[in-house]
Amino acid sequence: MDHKDNQSPQVRILLEFFEVAITSVVFLKGVYPSGAFERRRYMNLVVQRARHPELRDYIHSSVWGLLPFIEKDLVERVAVIFFNADNNPVERFIFKLVVNQSYSSKVEEADLEFSLRSFLIKLSVSEPLTNVLSHDCRWEITAYFRSLPDKSTSKDAGLWIPTDTKQWHQPPLITPIKSMSSEPLSLQLYLEHPSLN
């Protein structure tokens, strides 16, 4: 992976985790045949990795494109959204995060990896919480920002475009999957479905 050397270890670990977690979500939902993935080890767990270079690159470039915005604490949530044939969202996996960049104590990478590893374990057994998708569904990765980056001061602001994703008409049904709160990272993973009303 083409990682920058100047980012903090916790941001690097978080982005690597997002790349694996998003691939795991896509595998879990069965959007592609299981042969489109291969088994790999990450954080001493067996995880799935996309075999197709374009799928792998989409996930990789989307996640690592968030780097400057996570470093500036602009990213509030990262979502994997699944849509039906009418382009309506039917399911969202939401990663809500807070990264404290000013945290001065040294963070042990092993401790952070151990905490994030538990998310991958919970994610791998969360299929019963999800809905079955139609064969003509699609999906995308969406980042929700606390505030929009200023295009005049950030060369990376133009990398992301505003989404035209439809929002829920009613408050969604939320199913918590896993959360952690510690310095310098707090992370929640939950599932959103449209309300039954």
pLDDT in tens, 117-165: 999 999 989 988 888 888 889 999 999 988 776 665 556 555 555 666 6
Q: What domains lie within the chain, and their CATH numbers?
A: 9-147+166-194 (3.30.900.10)
Burial of 77: CB neighbours in 10 Å, binned 0-12, 13-18, 19+: middle
Please give the pLDDT value at position 1: 43
User: Whose structure tokens read 């001493």?
Assistant: 44
Rg (CA), the chain: 17
What is the DSSP annotation of 137-194? -EEEEEEEESSPPPTTT-TTGGGS----PPPPSSPPEEEEEEEEE-SSEEEEEEEEE-
176 pLDDT above the threshold of 50: yes
Torsion angle, CA of 6/40/52/30, rounded to 10 degrees?
A: -120
182 pLDDT above the threshold of 90: no
Residue from 169, 175, 91, 163 nearest 134 by CA: 91
Burial of 59: CB neighbours in 10 Å, binned 0-12, 13-18, 19+: buried
In the chain, DSSP finds a helix count (H) and a strand count (E) of 4, 7
pLDDT in tens, 62-116: 999 999 888 888 999 999 999 999 888 999 999 999 887 666 566 678 888 888 9
User: Whose structure tokens read 């382009």?
Assistant: 87
Compare 99 and 57 and report the one with higher pLDDT: 57
The answer to whether 33 and 27 are in contact (CB under 8 A) is no
How many residues in total does the chain contain?
Answer: 197
Whole-model pTM: value is: 0.87
pLDDT band at 5; cut points 50, 70, 90: low
